[in-house]
Amino acid sequence: MTALVVFAAVAAVIWVVDVAINPKAPCRRCQGHRGQHGLSRRKAWGDCGKCGGRGERARFGARQVRNAIRRPL
């Protein structure tokens, strides 16, 4: 049981460090390509409606990790 708790704590620390270094991930709808074809797949091209053409999204917990790092003690 103790090994499981230690493993979970180490995994949580690694995840927090990873989110602090890489807070953005590719958009799930456009996969980071910043746009989408229309339904006809011809000339209709526009910005992704989910990410607004940025091609990225915030990872889960990125805002909380950023706020915890920037908050003065």
Domain count, the chain: 1
- Boundaries of domain holding 24: 2-70
Q: What does the pLDDT look like over 26-37, one tens digit per residue?
A: 888 888 777 666
| pTM for the full predicted model | 0.66
Q: Is the dihedral of CA 61, 66, 67, 72 positive or negative?
A: positive
Q: What is the mean pLDDT of residues 51-68?
A: 87
Q: What does the pLDDT look like over 1-58, one tens digit per residue?
A: 899 999 999 999 999 999 999 999 988 888 877 766 666 555 556 778 788 888 888 8
Higher pLDDT, 68 or 42: 68
Distance separating alpha carbons of residues 46 and 41, to the nearest angstrom: 11
